[in-house]
Amino acid sequence: MSSFEDVDTEETVTSLHMTLYHPGHQRSGIFQSIKFCNRETLPTSEVVKFGRNSSTCRYTFQDKQVSRVQFSLQLFKKFDSSVVSFEIKNMSKKTNLLVDDKELSYLNKMDLPDKCLIRFGDYQFLVEKEDGESLEFFEIQFFLSIRPLLQENKWLPQKPTPECGSCSPCSTQNNSPMEAGENEW
Amino acid sequence: MSSFEDVDTEETVTSLHMTLYHPGHQRSGIFQSIKFCNRETLPTSEVVKFGRNSSTCRYTFQDKQVSRVQFSLQLFKKFDSSVVSFEIKNMSKKTNLLVDDKELSYLNKMDLPDKCLIRFGDYQFLVEKEDGESLEFFEIQFFLSIRPLLQENKWLPQKPTPECGSCSPCSTQNNSPMEAGENEW
């Protein structure tokens, strides 16, 4: 059984792949509490918080520049759709959030495109959704990029997402899913 | 200082007035854990859950027909708006939720109109938003209606929301803000 299947029903689950980049990670270990390549299964009811505060956020960044809660993601189902989508809300009073070219101030929210680049400060997160059937659970899987995901206002193109086996240790190998080349977008 | 003011900044806070009706309340005390007329101040970051499970829901209904979490409300700020709004999400797998005439299945969400009627099963909730300035806090205040808020597919008209002083005890007095008469809507 693939890890993409729901244990009880063998339904496939929607998966969110997040490729993280910050120029200071290798020096200061900003992402040290993130388990890269690990697939984590979460209930669809969860509001997933990202930020500095480990008591309120599921995923934390070791960086005093980050707000206690920087942003949240939550799952929803569009009307007349069989697949689930995600909504993002900026929870930071001091830092605006960019989703592709859309700027979110504090408490602004938007539906997340199936593939998009989230940015705040020096952080760049490439988010890609892979559709599944389950309405009970979804998965999040993180990858680390050692190269910027955005350069000169263009996205770098994307190679296929690496398998987990090539991810160990993600933080020291040049195994980013993002490589220079033609721009797909 | 009015209770609508934020203690620290003296900003006004957005207030959500919810008038609840269920035909079985007086017989079975469905709303017995709701403090009627009391203004409760909540942080804008809170996802407010309504349902049967008292460990996950802020507001609970004593009714086995209700889902553990029936629906959630959360605050957000529209782009280019100075006031806050609310989003509702149906968290019940077994019961659809009606917001005015829009039907929400499990995990469907929508932005809540400033005044609307929420229905599920025999429950009818009239929700009215009063705008404030604070981005830190908002208020929820509940009223009880002993008469249906919707009859023959028409809203009953509305008198001004009663002051708290006239609400004690809400559950036994005929002090509903909803009275029969001409339909404003």
- CB-CB under 8 Å, B108 with A77: yes
| B168: pLDDT strictly greater than 50 | no
Within 10 angstroms of residue A55's Cβ, the number of other Cβ atoms is: 6
Predicted pLDDT of residue A160: 44
Asked if A133 is an interface residue toward chain B (Cβ–Cβ < 8 A), one would say no
Distance CA A74, CA A63 (A): 23
What pLDDT, in 10s, does the model give residues A15-50? 999 999 999 998 999 999 999 999 999 999 999 999
> Model confidence at B167, in pLDDT bands (50, 70, 90)?
low
CA distance B12 to chain A (A): 18
Helix (H, G, I), strand (E, B) or coil at B58: coil
Look at A68-77, B25-34, B169-178 and tell me which has the smallest mean pLDDT: B169-178
Predicted local distance difference test score (pLDDT) of residue A10: 81
Specify the pLDDT at position B150: 85
Contact B76 A89 (CB under 8 A): yes
Q: How far is B109 from chain A (nearest CA, A)?
A: 7
Give the fold, CATH level 3, of B11-170.
Tumour Suppressor Smad4 (2.60.200)
Is this complex's ipTM strictly greater than 0.95?
A: no
Q: Which residue of B has its CA nearest to A102?
A: B79
Identify the pLDDT of residue A150: 85
CA B126 – CA A63 distance, rounded (Å)? 44
Local structure of B15: helix, strand or coil: strand
Q: Which of B47, B94, B101, B109 to mutate to test the interface with A (most CBs of A within 10 A)?
A: B109
The sign of the dihedral angle between the CA atoms of B109, B110, B112, B116 is: negative
Listed as ranges, residues in chain A with pLDDT below 70 are: 1-9, 151-185
